[in-house]
């Protein structure tokens, strides 16, 4: 078994190996990198993260199709799409995320930008009052304040209900963390990267357990808290950088 200092050094080395521009092409973060306008980046990041489960190639294919249906201009589509465009968007599906879900997400995003100041403003406002994991739960409540199918709500996770909320935590890493490497955007300046949580999934969870920095067997909210404590000790200012190491070791190197 490695000591904590040895694990920290090993993970720091792996962060340097994976947190670089070459990582972008085959990762879902490549989708928001297609855009330059702030609102396009954050909307495409949110939508891409929402469908980020399963094979990465399949995720990228589906996310690119999603952006095509949005006319390669997510913000303009969200704000001004007409009935015909929405009907066409309703043809989208990826695994259990279907056209009904997609069109609701478009309507809800329109509500957020027109009535709540946009995604960044919502997260900033909530995070000033709650922990970031509590913020995700309150964001979900706001996101589903419009009439919606019950099934659609499952596509936004809530840590307060025990979920690891991997996809929302991943989106927050993309938008909040500025890695100075051109991978994570650092677009949202009012939330500290020190508050971010690791986007825990089967790969990063298994890697963390093999390294001895996670003991909980389930990949749930309690496991996120346990892992966050260790990673924050390794780097209090930027704990979520270790997502690159844990994910890269698990997925790319089959650690």
Supply the range of the domain harboring residue 228.
Answer: 4-252
pLDDT for the residue 194:
98
Do 18 and 243 contact (CB within 8 A), yes or no? no
Phi and psi at residue 179, to the nearest 5°: -90, -5
Do 81 and 106 contact (CB within 8 A), yes or no? yes
Domain count, the chain: 1
pLDDT averaged over consecutive 10-residue blocks of the chain (255 residues)?
92 97 96 98 98 94 98 98 96 96 98 98 97 97 97 96 97 96 97 98 95 97 98 98 95 77
pLDDT for the residue 94:
96
pLDDT, one tens digit per residue, over 32-42 is: 999 999 999 99
pLDDT for the residue 254:
74
pTM, full prediction: 0.96
Tokens of 137: 């739960």
pLDDT, one tens digit per residue, over 146-193 is: 999 999 999 999 999 999 999 999 999 999 999 999 999 999 999 999
């Amino acid at each position: 078994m490695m000591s904590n200092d040895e694990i920290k050094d090993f993970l720091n080395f792996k962060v340097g190996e994976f947190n670089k521009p070459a990582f972008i092409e085959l990762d879902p973060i490549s989708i928001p990198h297609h855009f330059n306008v702030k609102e396009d980046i954050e909307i495409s990041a949110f939508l891409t993260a929402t469908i980020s489960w399963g094979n990465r190639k399949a995720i990228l294919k589906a996310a690119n199709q999603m952006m095509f249906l949005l006319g390669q201009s997510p913000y303009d589509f969200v704000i001004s799409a007409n009935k015909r465009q929405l009907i066409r968007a309703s043809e989208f599906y990826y695994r259990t995320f279907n056209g009904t879900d997609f069109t609701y997400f478009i309507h809800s995003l329109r509500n957020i930008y027109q009535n709540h100041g946009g995604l960044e403003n919502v997260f900033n406002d909530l995070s000033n009052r709650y922990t970031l994991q509590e913020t995700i739960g309150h964001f979900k409540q706001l996101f589903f304040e419009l009439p919606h199918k019950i099934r659609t709500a499952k596509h936004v996770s809530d840590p307060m209900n025990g979920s690891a909320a991997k996809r929302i935590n991943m989106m927050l890493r993309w938008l909040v963390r500025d890695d100075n490497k051109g991978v994570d955007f650092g677009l949202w300046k009012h939330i500290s990267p020190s508050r971010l949580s690791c986007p825990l999934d089967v790969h990063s969870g298994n890697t963390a357990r093999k390294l001895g920095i996670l003991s909980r067997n389930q990949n749930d909210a309690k496991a996120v808290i346990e892992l966050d404590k260790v990673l924050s000790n390794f780097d209090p200012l930027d704990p979520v950088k270790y997502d690159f190491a844990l994910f890269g070791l698990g997925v790319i190197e089959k650690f």
